[in-house]
Chain A
Amino acid sequence: QAGLTQLPSVSAALGQTATLTCTGYGDIIAVKGATWLQQRQGLPPRLLSSRNDKRPSGISERFSASRSGNTASLTISGLQAEDEATYYCSSWDTNFNAWVFGGGTRLSVL
């Protein structure tokens, strides 16, 4: 099973906006969408956005997901120190009946 492609690291200043991207293979993101997960050090992942680009209850409006073609994006506005974490995208591959993940992007808040 192939994986989704994410940049290993991104940095942005406190209070600014960071945009993370996730590129799919084939048309997986275009057709099935992508979810975004946040993982802080030592904690389990937390769902930020579902495959329909909607935030679960309790997730800040500062996190906004979108997609264009086979690329998904997560925009984090008004960066806070607590946003420093690794962000993973994922999608469902119907050919393999499997969840596939990106390698994760480590976000540093300067």
Chain B
Amino acid sequence: EVRLVESGGGLVQPGGSLRLSCEASGFTLSSFSMNWVRQTPGKGLEWVSYISGSSYNIYYGDSVKGRFTISRDNAKNSVYLQMDSLRVEDTAVYFCARETNWGLGLDFWGQGALVTVFS
């Protein structure tokens, strides 16, 4: 069974940092690209970042570029999102999502980790 479990969310003040982790199980992580997607409470979905299976390709959304860093450790079955210079508007539930082969969709999602940036 494919499982994605996020951790590392919490409360932080503006300008602070948090590191989210996504632990994967039930599949070979290195064979899949992974994404982070966030959702502001009561609002829609916003794509945050992408990392290919080998980490060769990495992309970011405009709103987080230069502040967030995605990485992965396939040996530890984990994907990470280092979030620096956090802003109030970064408050959201952050989902880790697996991408299908050929990038046809995001087929498995974790339960999400809540990040609250408060002043």
Contact = CB atoms under 8 A, between A and B. Distances in A.
Nearest to B6: A44
Contact of B50 (A88, A90, A97): A97
A69 interface: no
A51 B35 CA distance: 16
Interface in B26-40: 35, 37
B80 interface: no
Interface stretch (B11-19, B41-49, B69-77, B82-90): B41-49
A90 to B, nearest CB: 8
Contact of A35 (B50, B62, B104, B111): B104
Nearest to A93: B47
A98 B59 contact: yes
Contacts, number: 64
A101 B44 contact: yes
Contacts of B62: 1, 96
A20 interface: no
A1 to B, nearest CB: 6
Contacts of B110: 44
Interface of A: 1, 33, 35, 37, 44-47, 49-52, 54, 56, 88, 90, 92, 96-104
Interface of B: 35, 37, 44-47, 50, 57, 59, 61-62, 95, 97, 100, 103-112
7 closest cross-chain pairs (CB), A and B? A50-B104, A44-B109, A99-B47, A35-B105, A50-B105, A97-B59, A101-B45
